[in-house]
Structure formats: C-alpha cells, structure tokens
A and B are shown apart, each in its own frame.
Chain A
Amino acid sequence: MRKVIEGSHAVAEGARLARAQVISAYPITPQTHIVERLSEFCADGTLDARFLRVESEHSALAALIGAASTGVRTFTATSSQGLALMHELLHWASGARLPVVMANVNRALAPGWNIWADQTDSLAQRDTGWIQLYCEDSQEVLDTTLQAYRLAEWVYLPVMVILDAFFLSHTYEPVDIPDQESVDRFLPPFQPRFHLDPESPCTFGQMSPPGVYMEMRRSIQDAMEDALLAFADVEEEFSRVHGRRYGPVEAVHCDDARVILVTSGTVTSTSRQVIAELRARGEKVGLLKVKLFRPFPVESIRTALGRAQKVAVIDRNFSFGASGIFAQEIRAALCNLPGHPTVFGYVAGLGGRDVTTAIIEEIYIRTRDAEAPQGESLWVGLQEVKHAP
C-alpha cells in the first residue's frame, strides 16, 4: 500500500513488518518518532512485542543483547550522543554475534549542541563490527530495515540502518508499504544457530585467552566478508518478492565518466539532479552512491570508479587530523589499483548545513579543473569567523 509517511515512520513500519519481538530504546531527537510509533504499535496490539523502557541508550542496547541471546528478533533506534553512549555495547553485540538491528539517524555530535544531519556519529563506530547501510530516501529506509534482519540473521552480525536527520527522518514521502504476507515470505521467523536456553544452561562471552581470541576476531571478519555475498542474495530475494533493489553501491553514468562524484545518504538525491543537468550540458560526469559501508564493497567500488580520471568524494562527516571518512575509504580501496583515478575529498553540509545543487556543481567544476587535490579534504562553503582571542 502506497502512503505518504514520515521517514521515521518508514523505519517503524519496517520493524513492525519484520515482527521485531523485543524493542528497547531511549528517546533522542531526531530518532524519537521511530520508537514512539513502535510503542504505539505495541500498545494497540498491532505489533506483538515487548517494549522495554530504559534509562539510557547503553541500557537499551544492553537489554537487546540479553534479549537477542535468547534468539528473538530485536530492534532499537538512536542518534548521535545516544549512539556514542552505546559504544561499548556495539562491540559486545558484534562480538557476541547477535543479529540486533538498529536504526541510527545521523545527527551531529555536541558541543556545540546540534541536532541536525551529520554522519560522524555512525562513521565513528565503523570499527565496532556492525554492518552499516546508508539510505537515500524513505522507501529505501523501509526496505533496508527488512533486508537488515535477513542479512543480520544470515551472518550473525548486528546491522545499523542509517538515515539523515530531518532531511530523511522528518520528511514525508510516498512509500510503498508491503503487506505482511509478502514480508513474511521474504523474512521467515528466525531460527538461531545458538541461543540461551535455560534447559541447557551455558555461559556466553566467558574468558577467551590468546589461544582462541584471534580466531574469534577472524570469524567476525569472515562473517563480514560473507555479508558482501549475503547482501547480494538478500537483495535478490527482496527484489523477487518486492520488486526493488539498491545494490551495495549504485553507479550512475560511471561507464564513460571522467569525473565521478561519490556520495551517501540524501546528498545523493541532490547530486542525481546536478549530474543530470551537467550531462545535458555535455559534461562527462558520473555518480557513485555508497549504500553499504561495512563491509566496504571494495570490488564494486573499484569496478565503478576504475576507469574515471578523477573522483570527488563528498563527506558530510570528518575525522579530525585526517580527512572526510568516505574519502579515506575510497582512497584505500583504489590505491592498489594500477592507474587509479585521483581522489579529491570535499567536506560539506556538517551539522545540517544544506548541500545545495550549487555546492555540488562547484565541487564538480573544481575537480574537473584542478590538476591535483590541494589537500586531503577541501571544506566547501566555509565562512569567515571571529575566533576567541
């Protein structure tokens, strides 16, 4: 059924259709609408799930780790400071190989206090062993939430579904909400390979000395590598049932492009318009949308970007002392490719600042006309400021 709904509610619909059994969350703007809607589903019986109210995001994830250990389907949502507070337990969830699904609404970290879109919160958690999927619109948010469960339960790793604050979380768009029956076909009940069973008690996560720890870590990496293949399978099945697929990356006009823009999240939508206009003017420009960030789809990226002369990565995030994080990853993916394109890094739109068509076009022109990058990251649209004495 096609309905005009808020991005947050697209997430909630996804968790509902996935038949999440235990939900726990702590409210934080701009995530709150997601769990608010889910709590309503629980209250009115639309969703048969336990909704656990907790006193912090740390506890929210801790509760889900306990719940997921028993083999049930779990869901939480958070943002920014909340995700940062979960940090310790993000490692725990992946180390314990629990298929928790979480929505993270990308929001800037404080101080200064800022509730608007910025990817640094989730990208700062890239080493925690979570699969990360960045979404462009509300339909993708809903579909990705469903895919996330399939993927998580396949490779026994937690999955983060990521969407931009306000641009996505609070924007109303038409969304095709699949019926329960078709979702059930795509996502049958979870049959866990291990679970906490009082009839056969065991300890999870006990002391793991040097003799075994390394193998456990390797097992997580194997699962991550498996997730790349599994994601393709999940998408294949999803498209058979629901007729939509997104790919770990999406290449637009990359085959003959000299300059390719690399984007993620909602900046992608704006960029689609820009490159369409540039193409109409005869510019050899392409666009690569990165959806799957962990595991990082290196081969797909090399294939898409390998023939271009220049790549311009737009980062709505920053790693202090280094550069935009997507730019780092793209450079790393390309550096061992003979004759790889030059990578230009651009930082734009931090803390919710608009990344307009004009900015994207400026980024393209600068890249096209430059001999070589002027540095690791070029900050676009910076204003003069008065510094503290």
Chain B
Amino acid sequence: MSSERRERPPTSLFISRSYLSTESNKTGSWRFLRPRYEEKTAPCSVACPAGEDIGRIEMLTAEGRFHEAWETVLRENPFPGICGRVCYHPCEHVCNRGEFDEPVAVHILERFLADAAARFELKPSIERRTPRTEKIAVVGSGPSGLAAAYFLARLGYQAEVFETMPEPGGVLRWGIPPYRLPLSVLNQELTLIRELGVRIHCDREVSPESLGATGSGYDALVLGCGHSRSLDLKIPGENLKGVEDGLRFLGRIRRGETPALQGTVAVIGGGNTAMDVARSAARLGARSVVIYRRRRQDMPAFAEEVEMALAEGVEIHELETPVAIRRRGGRLGVTIQAMRVAGEDSRGRARVEPASGKTREMEVERLFLAVGATTVAEWQDPPPQGRGVLSLCNSLLVHEPGHPVLVFGGDLVAETKSVVHAVASGKEAAMALDRLFRDGLEAVRPGLQACLVGGGPSLSMEMYLNGPRSSRNHRIVQYDDLNTDHFRFAPRIVEPRLLRQERLRSFAEIVLRIGANVAIREAERCFNCGLCNDCDNCQLFCPDLAVICDRKAGSRSINYDYCKGCGLCVVECPRNAMVLEEEAPCARS
C-alpha cells in the first residue's frame, strides 16, 4: 500500500536558485579598508641578542623539519648546541605565550635541534657570499672570535683565528664545566666553523704588532680575547697556598684533573664563574659556600644558575666579604666582614659598605676567587671615544687610515657578559667590516641599522643578506595582537634532568635529551608571533572567497576585485601576520 503512495508526484519545490555568475559584480569596489599579508617581528627574536628567528625555527620544528630549523638557527648563531645549553634565554622571558600559559621552552628546542643534527651528522647548506680578497685576523677563539670568523667566512672573507691556549673555545672550553656543556658539543660546532674554511691557530701568542709584522697584511683584526685574567681581592693573604683563582680551577677540571676536595670550600664572588666553581667543588666532595658582598638578587650570575647551585647544596652567604686570609694549620682562616646596604645604584643593585664592628672568623680548606676578570694586556682594552672610533651596539670599531681596522668584541665591550652576547658582537663585527670594505666607514652605521631585529640591538645576518626575513615589519607583536581563540592551553615541557644525587657524583651533563615527538609538541606551543604558518584561517573565514591559496607554492593572495575589506581575515589570523589599512581615497582597485 505504501509503495503505491510513494508514486505520488514529488512535492512542489520552487526555490530561488541561479547558475549565473556573480563575478560581474566586483564587490571589491565597496572596500574602504584593505587587508594585506604582512609578517611582523616576534618579541623573542628581538630579545635574543643573536636575533634568532625563533618563531620560524619553532614553526619548522613543529612540522618536523628539523634540518631546516637547525639551519635557521645557524643563519644567526653558529652555536645552537652551546646556546641551547648555556644561554640564559632572554627570549623566553618575553615570550607572548607566557601571558597565555607558560613560555615556550626555546632553549630546550634549540639544543634538541643541535643534538639531532649531530646525531644524524647533518651538514648545513647556508648561503655564502662570493669570496673577497680582504684578510682578517681574529684574536681569541672564544664565542665572539669564533662567531666573527664564522660570519666573516659566510660573507666571503678569509678569517684566521689565533688562540694562545693549546685548544680553541675560550670560555666555552675553559670556563664552563662539562655538566653544563660537554666537550663533544663544543667540538661538534667547532667542526662546522672549520668546515667553512676558518683556520684556527692554537698556541699562538699574538698582538697587533706581531700580526702586522707577519707581513701577510691583515686588513682587519677582530679582538675577541675576552677577560681571562682574574681580578684580585686586594686583601692580605690572597696569595697563600690554598687560595686559587676560580677560572684556573675550572680550566684544570676541563683538562681532566679531579682534585679531591674535603671540608668546607669558600668561593668569593657572585657571577656565573663563582656558581660554576662552587658547583664543581661540590662535585669533588666539598661543602661549597659562596660569599658575596651584595644581596642574592644583585648577583650577576643568571638566576637559573643560582637556583641550580642551591639545589645542589651550595650555600650562599650574602652581604659578606673576606678582609683577610691566614694560614691556620693545614687550613685557611678567613676574616669575614659583614656588609650593609646603603642605597641602590641606577640598575637597582645594592650599594654596600662594611657594617662597622661586625666581623666573624671562618675556617676553610680552600678558597677560590671569582670576583671578576679583565684583559691580560692593555692593548685589548677598547679605546675611549674619539676620531675613527665607532661605538656600535655590540662592538667597537677603530678605523685609522694606514692601519688594519680593529673591532673590539665579546666581553671586551659587552655590558652583559654571556655567550650569546659574544655571538652578537662577532656577528656585528663581521657585518661592520663587510660594510666598511664595500662602502666605506660612513656606510657602516646605516648598513647595520637596516638589519636590526625589531628596534634592535639584535642584528640579523639573514636580513643583512636580504633574505626573506628582510620583508618583515619591524613592529613587535604584542600578546593583545594575537587571536588566542585559536590556541589551546598546553603545559610547557619539563626539562629532564639528572637527579640531584646523580649530579653530585660526576661532571656528567645535568640536562638530558628529549625525543623528537616531545620537541614537536613543545614547538607546536609556539604562537609564531607575526609569522604565517599556512594555517589558512584567512581563506576559511573570508566570506567572499577572495583569499586565493596556491597550495603547491604554499602562498596566498587576496583577490581585491572581490575583497570587501571586512577585515575578518585579519581578525581571525591567530598570529598577526596580516594588517588592515585604510584605502587611499583615489587608489581603489
């Protein structure tokens, strides 16, 4: 019965439908606002002294393109393995994700990329300029000297590095203990620099005179000799047996010496060297006590290093300073003067003075000095301002006609003494010399200005070489510029570390490796501020189908014939990689 009923004629269905194209109606003429693709600058890349393109590095990492991600680091920094370990990662402190949940663990990912490259024996293919004739000598093979040589080689120059020590690396080799930076990592990244054609001469004591006298006619000298002579305390007894220079102590450990320590060991100072000496002494069996004349928050050591030291049982005595050292049997008697805060300096550090009458005696087995270091020779000190002296963001250039150009870099000029600042100065030195040799002294400043990341002072070599990064707007993406509706909360990766007890048993690296899946997950947390990651939200949300995507080329464009300028694409771009501008009244398409 029902089958008969179904034979009834179909229901009346008269609807409005048209197969005529509406393309004749160019609705783009209604537009008074114009969206445009425009990549901007991520705050992390500005905070990174090396100006690394972090947003892009994480984008590539999230896509599993580890080789390209690693090369993207190498464009701006020859030391991803080193900086991934020892950098104090200012990038993470400004990460916009920090306002959402927690910052992206940039340093862990950087190290992951370097470790992956080493493991798979990857070789980078990064743009190099055609060779030039100028020869440049680099004095010192620490991070600034090596970075200068690396970037000079990429710019086509012959760079030769001279090192007084028997092996290259400077502070990376002699000043940072293996539990923070294993030697294999340093050697790996040294190999990459050597493979660019950089020659490193070790055991070579050099000076401007000796280099000039070689007759090979260097056109420029980059001075990256660092601060390797420790400062004295200028107190009685500091030359007694049992009192040792902290830097020298760290150097001995690098050479493989493991002097057994016992009892209490005092470390004087509050910098990263002091922390490393104290932590090394703890590993050798001592009870480490750091004595620092200001407050803990005034320490020049990076906060994370201080926290790790405390976790390893290092004690910190703040507002104290030794005033005399005596032999007392086989031990050292130290007179400690209590200090008191007498105001703060312009940077918020405590100004201290002795608290009168408050001293105490302390007995220690050994005492290490780590109160700072300076240059070993006067010619390494940068000259004061004057004719031919160009003070740049991260280096200082001296141009005297008839003499090789001098560029002072690294700790010689740096306000913050860190590996990544040294890299920044080496990069700046290379760019400044290139600009100088090509276009003269006047071109140096504007040449560098053009490749500042955001407002600077970080510099980008990719921008210097007119790479794709040059087209970005310098505007720094703020948290409010992002559309966080398109992101999900995800906890930051926890850095895997050796247990505290295990750390104290050896100099084995504390921070452990992470797997590729974990790295991808962490990299996916990156907002890629200001960068297009091909999410195609613009196309998805465009009510006029005016966003044209070329999937093969991975590019997209706006068909202004039909774009009404509603701005949805700009609003729905999670990463602020678009901009909406008022149309010029007479220039409508």
Contact = CB atoms under 8 A, between A and B. Distances in A.
Interface of A: 96-97, 154-156, 193-194, 200-208, 212, 215-216, 218-219, 222-223, 226, 229-230, 233, 236-237, 240
Given A194-B15, A208-B16, A233-B5, 16 more contacts: A96-B15, A97-B13, A155-B11, A156-B13, A203-B18, A207-B16, A215-B14, A216-B14, A218-B12, A226-B12, A229-B5, A229-B8, A230-B11, A233-B2, A237-B2, A240-B2
Classify the secondary structure of B's interface with A: loop
A77 B534 CA distance: 35
Contacts of B2: 233, 236-237, 240
A97 B6 CA distance: 20
Interface in B467-489: none
Contacts of B19: 200-203
A156 B5 CA distance: 17
Contact of B18 (A154, A156, A206, A218): A206
Nearest to A216: B14
B1 interface: yes
Contact of B11 (A96, A204, A223): A223
B426 to A, nearest CB: 52
Contacts of A193: 10, 13
Nearest to A239: B2
A102 B17 CA distance: 25
Contacts of B6: 233
B22 interface: yes
B50 to A, nearest CB: 43
A278 to B, nearest CB: 37
Interface string B14-48: 11111111100000000000000000000000000
Given A233-B5, A233-B6, A236-B5, A97 B18 contact: no
B1 A154 contact: no
29 contacts: A155-B11, A156-B11, A193-B10, A194-B15, A200-B19, A201-B21, A202-B19, A203-B17, A203-B19, A204-B16, A204-B17, A206-B16, A206-B18, A208-B16, A212-B14, A212-B16, A216-B14, A216-B15, A216-B16, A218-B12, A219-B12, A222-B11, A222-B12, A229-B5, A229-B8, A230-B11, A233-B2, A236-B1, A237-B2
B22 A223 contact: no
Nearest to A155: B11
Q: List 6 tightest A-B contacts by C-beta distance, closest first.
A: A222-B12, A219-B14, A219-B12, A203-B18, A208-B16, A155-B11
Contacts of A194: 13, 15, 17
B17 A223 contact: no
Contacts of A97: 13, 15
Interface of B: 1-2, 5-6, 8, 10-22
Given A233-B5, A240-B2, A204 B15 contact: yes
A193 B12 CA distance: 11
A228 B376 CA distance: 102
A200 B1 CA distance: 38
Contacts of B15: 96-97, 194, 204, 216, 219
B11 A154 contact: yes
A229 B8 CA distance: 10
Nearest to A206: B18
Contacts of B11: 154-156, 222-223, 226, 230
Given A219-B12, A222-B11, A202 B18 contact: yes
B195 to A, nearest CB: 52
Contacts of B8: 229
Nearest to B4: A233
A126 to B, nearest CB: 20
B13 to A, nearest CB: 5
Nearest to A237: B2
Nearest to A97: B15
Nearest to A223: B11
Contacts of B13: 97, 156, 193-194, 219, 223
Question: In this complex, which of B11, B14, B21 has the most chain A Cβ atoms within 10 angstroms of its Cβ?
Answer: B11
A233 B5 CA distance: 7
A200 B22 CA distance: 14
B27 to A, nearest CB: 14
A156 B13 CA distance: 8
A95 to B, nearest CB: 8
Contacts of B21: 201
Contacts of B22: 203
Contacts of A216: 14-16
B7 to A, nearest CB: 11
A382 B81 CA distance: 82
A131 B20 CA distance: 32
Contacts of A226: 11-12
A216 B5 CA distance: 25
B586 to A, nearest CB: 32
Contacts of A215: 14
A237 B5 CA distance: 11
A193 B10 CA distance: 10
A136 B12 CA distance: 31
Nearest to B14: A219
Question: In this complex, which of B8, B12, B14 has the most chain A Cβ atoms within 10 angstroms of its Cβ?
Answer: B12
A180 B355 CA distance: 88
A232 B188 CA distance: 82
A228 to B, nearest CB: 12
Given A237-B2, A240-B2, A202 B17 contact: yes
B524 to A, nearest CB: 22
A312 to B, nearest CB: 35
A131 B17 CA distance: 23
Contacts of A155: 11
A381 B163 CA distance: 103
Nearest to A196: B17
